[in-house]
Structures are given as C-alpha cells and as structure tokens.
Structure 1
C-alpha cells in the first residue's frame, strides 16, 4: 500500500494504512468493521482486505490470554 519501507531510501505514503483494527479478544457483532483500510486505489484496498481477512480468526470462544511481554531479547 505504500505506508512502509523495504529500504531506508523508500518513500512513505502517510495517507495509507489501517485504523480502528479489532483487537485480540474483542467481541465482533457484525456491525463494526474488523478494520478501516485507507488505500490509494481499489486494487490496493482489495489486497489489504484479503490480508486482514487471512490474519483474523473469528471464533465463539475467547482466545487464551497472552502475556504483555512476549519475549525478552538479550545479547
């Protein structure tokens, strides 16, 4: 979509991205979108919507709680 970089020299498009994303454990009722996608064109929107749908699992059971700190990296 253009909102990130692959290399430090890449330009960022600040008008694209995601807002209002559903969080882990949120109750979804069909009235609220899973996320709001800000895309520069329809093709980019379709690609982002596909990625969001693939990343989210809807289930009747609440997910297991996750720790606030996933992993500590020390070197």
Structure 2
C-alpha cells in the first residue's frame, strides 16, 4: 500500500516538473507577436495530443493483464 502511494506522489511530482517549463513556454508563445490563427491552431494541436496521450494512459490503466495458463 505504501509503495503505491509513493508511486502516485512520484508521478504527480514528475507531471508538475514537466508541466512548469511547458506552461512557461506556452505563456511566452502566447505573448509573442504571432498571427492569432496560427497561435490558436497550434494550441489546439497541442491540446489534442495531450488529450490523446491522457486517453491512452487511462485505457492502459483500466485494462487488465491477460491470465497466464500453464
């Protein structure tokens, strides 16, 4: 039980550690003088990729491993 809790904490810290530089990069990206439609298009593409990755992780976590037959 304690191992699983540490795994969740470590995973949360990893996500936060990755999200901070990505968030800062997106913040700088939005502030640059760039055509608004390109900015929105790229942000939608990034959001779609993140959503697909989250969906894949969720499906992987929900799936059960096949039973081994001897």
Fold shared per TM-score above 0.5: no
Please, what TM-score do these two structures have when normalized by structure 2? Answer: 0.30
Higher helix share: 2
More relative contact order, 1 or 2 (CA 8 Å, 6+ apart): 1
Higher strand share: 1
Please, what TM-score do these two structures have when normalized by structure 1? Answer: 0.28
